Structure formats: structure tokens, C-alpha cells
Chain A
């Protein structure tokens, strides 16, 4: 898997004039990587993800997955949104199964994959529950399982834990690392939480706003345990703190610049 974003720009035409949401964005992701994009509100993070997912079209530039240009949404790029992610009339198992059904995968195979991914996200015992009976964290687990069940080349996530409380969020981060390790999926995740990004990713792209551009790329070198995933201990390391400080400062500076420009 090789995702390449080259000179990507996106302008929105609004009544107040043109908004340049992204300008000349370049990035790439390789097989099995966990990459985060952080940026202040309005820096075009969601726009970037939607373009990669094929849910919107760039003004200029190119996106390719394995050399093939992205022309629209497809099951090779799974997506997890922050809200309204589940089909409310389907129970947990049927939500996970939904994508497989859409693709016409035979029933026996569907059942096998559903039970595997329900196990991966630890929701086997809730398989018959309707979404309205689930907590926010559980809903996101189902959404992740549903996306993974289609076995996409890359999993795109737009602030998937943004609406969760701090405790749930922490356990979801640990959970996601575990899923990543177990399935080997390539992940591109968006967040505005710097700590979350440093904890989860191997690389980070920092986006700054107006227009949204990649300000800097960070390689995150933090120790992993024997199973190849990080645990909470890394948060206490001085390296962890340094990454966090640096990225936070970068975002702070760009926000100040912006305010000066606007003011």
C-alpha cells in the first residue's frame, strides 16, 4: 500500500468569497504505518481526509493509492467519522456486516469475518444490541470494526475520539493501538489533540491554517513493547514530552500569526 498526496489544493466557493482550505499539501503513507495529522480548527484536516476518501474533489493536485488515482469513494479506503456513525436500525453485528453485504460477499464468509472483528473490538457479547443502547466509546468500536471488516488498504479516521470523555478516550487509544497491532492495518487519523497524536503515531504531519498547509513532519521514535505497540508508560518519558512541547508550540505560533494577520 502506498498513498501519495501531491500538491493538493482545495478551494471552497462561498457567498463571502473563496476559502482556501488546503494549499499544496504533500504527504505519503506506507503499508502498516500509523500516521496522525494534527492542526488547529479550520486548518483543513477534515477536508484533507474527505479528499483522500474521495468524498470531495480537489481543486488541483493528485491523490493516488498504489499508483491508481482516487476518483471517488471506494472500499479500499475505510472511514470512521466522529458522529452519526452507525445505522440505528441495525444491531451491532448487522452494522459490522453491512459493508460485506453491500459488496455481495457470501453469507458464510460474512459470518466468519463479523465474528472475527467483533472479537477484535471486544463486542461479541453486545452483538444483538441496538446502537441506541451503546455508550459513545462502544459506538466508535463498532464503527471501527465495520470499517475493518471490509479489509480496506487504509483506515481514515476524522477525530474519532473527539466526542468522548477523557477516560474513555484513553482506553480507546490503547484499544486502537491493539487493533492496529493485531490487524496490521494502515491508519491515517486526524486529531487536534497533540498528546493523542504523539502517543499513537509513528509519524505526524502538522497542518497550519489559512491556507491549510503541512508546516512540518515529525518522525516519532518512542519505545514499543514486545508486541510492537506502545503502552501508557511512554507518556512519562522525556522524549514524549519533548515531541508534545514542540508540536504544541508550532501550533501556537501559527495561531498567533493568524490572529495578527486577521487583526
Chain B
């Protein structure tokens, strides 16, 4: 019955396609077109809904209104200040987390002993939601910059560490053993073979965990802050300025996207060897 048509198809072989190619590139033009659509269509839906829909302006401001709010925030100098404040917190927390997670992750991946020592505790702590640490951090560190940076540190440290540890497991054993037969010592294998091998994975881990940092900085600022995009959003909510909320959200998205782009660029420059 239904099988008949299936059999027919099989005898003709796999039909050719452009759109549905698996694990292959699509033509450049099509790719750019689709990428443009990915932004343009949601944008127009938003505009349509805001202009002709029944939703009130207070709930769904239109793109021009948001642009106007953006202009306001810019003129008042808030936007630069807030963005800088949030950005520096993210960078601060992230740099501290990286400074710990790179050596720790590599050591855990390399030495079964270090892994046994840290994996259980890291495995447990990473399931404690970072946001749940906010009250504790405020009690310990007050409401200045310290608790916010600490929150980002806690929120990215463990995933970074585990991802880097996993990457070390993929260093081919042959490469390590070859190094020994070339006269390499253990510390040389650690610093001159394992470490360079996982650099691409470290950058990838950073790209993924950067998103977490941005989530957490907003959480921290919603609780207590003088400045920051999270703080701005909270203020806007008090006065029902949804257009400002939208503006801040778009800024957040764009900055995250830019950070991701620069990390990808770093990957292309530093890890040319790892690009297929």
C-alpha cells in the first residue's frame, strides 16, 4: 500500500536538493539571503503587530518609538554608562573565572589524580544555580561591585572548567607518547602539547559561557546596582517605559553578538590549524 511509493523512490536514488543538504555548505547567495531573512522577518512582524495590532503602545512599543527611547538614553549619557558598567562586570568576572578554570580544567583533564580530587565537588556545585548565591554574596560582600563580579565568577567557573577538562580527553594518546619518545618530560607534555591542543576548545567554551555571564550580570543588577543595563531595565519598569526596556534588550543582544563575533575572530587568527 503505502510501501509502493517508497519502493519507487528508492529505485530512483536520493533526489538532489540544495536547501536540505546535510553537513554540506549551501551557495553563498542563499546563505546571506537566509541570514538576512532571519533578522528582517521578526523585525517586520514586530512592526506590524505594534502598528496594526490591538496591543497597546505601553505593552508593545513600535520600532520608531524604541529608536526614540534609544536616542533619549543616549543623549542623557545613560546608555554609555550603563553599558560600560555591565560590560566591565562581565569582563571582570569572566577573566577571574578564566584564570582559574584554564589551569584547573587542564590539570583535571591531564591528571586522573587531580580529577578525582576536584570532579565530585565541582559536579555538585555546578548544579547549584548561580543566581541562588546572590543573597549570600550580598551578605558577604555588600552591594558594590564585588558581589556582582563574584556572581559571574561562580556562574562561569564550573562549566568552563568541565568543558576544558573534557577537551583534554580528546588529545590523542599517540601524540603524548610520541612526545615522550622525543625526549619530552611530563611538564613539557603538559605545557607544550596538551595546552596548545586545547586552545580552540577553550575559546569555544568561552563563547558558550559568555552568554551565561550576560544573564547573570543582569540578575545581579536587578537586585542592587547604581548603574548597569539591568538597573536601567528595572527603572524603566517602574515608570512603565517599555520602549526603554526594549532598547536595553536590543543593546544586550547586540553586545553579546559582538563579543561572540570577536571570539570567533580570535579563533580564526589563533587557531588556523583547527579550522577544517
A88 to B200, CA, bound (A): 12
Cβ of A102 and Cβ of B188 under 8 Å apart?
yes
Within the complex, the shortest CB–CB distance from A154 to chain B, in Å, comes to 11
Cβ of A150 and Cβ of B182 under 8 Å apart?
yes
* Contact partner, A83, options B174, B177, B181, Cβ 8 Å: B174
Please tell me the size bucket of the interface on A: 20 to 34
Cβ of A147 and Cβ of B182 under 8 Å apart?
yes
The answer to whether A205 has its CB under 8 Å from any CB of chain B is no
Q: What does the 1/0 interface line of B60-80 toward A look like (CB < 8 Å)?
A: 000000000000000000000
The residue among B178, B180, B273 with the most chain A CB atoms within 10 A of its own CB is B178
Q: What does the 1/0 interface line of A82-96 toward B look like (CB < 8 Å)?
A: 011101110000000
Chain B, range 179-205, C-beta contacts under 8 Å to A? 179-185, 188, 192-193, 196-197, 199
Cβ of B183 and Cβ of A102 under 8 Å apart?
yes
Contacts A88-B274, A89-B196, A130-B273 known; A147 to B188 CB distance under 8 Å? no
Cβ of B192 and Cβ of A102 under 8 Å apart?
yes
Within the complex, the shortest CB–CB distance from B171 to chain A, in Å, comes to 9
Q: Chain A interface mostly helix, strand, loop or mixed?
A: loop
* Contact partner, B180, options A55, A84, A103, A147, Cβ 8 Å: A55
The answer to whether B16 has its CB under 8 Å from any CB of chain A is no
B residues neighboring A (CB under 8 Å): 172, 174-175, 177-185, 188, 192-193, 196-197, 199, 271-274
> Can you list 20 A-B contacts with CB-CB less than 8 angstroms, sorted by A residue number?
A55-B177, A72-B180, A75-B182, A78-B181, A79-B178, A79-B181, A81-B174, A81-B178, A83-B172, A84-B174, A87-B196, A98-B179, A99-B182, A102-B182, A102-B188, A103-B182, A143-B178, A146-B182, A147-B182, A152-B181
Can you name 13 extra interface pairs (CB under 8 A) apart from A89-B196, A89-B199, A147-B182? A53-B177, A55-B181, A73-B181, A74-B180, A79-B178, A84-B174, A85-B174, A99-B182, A99-B184, A102-B185, A130-B272, A146-B182, A147-B181
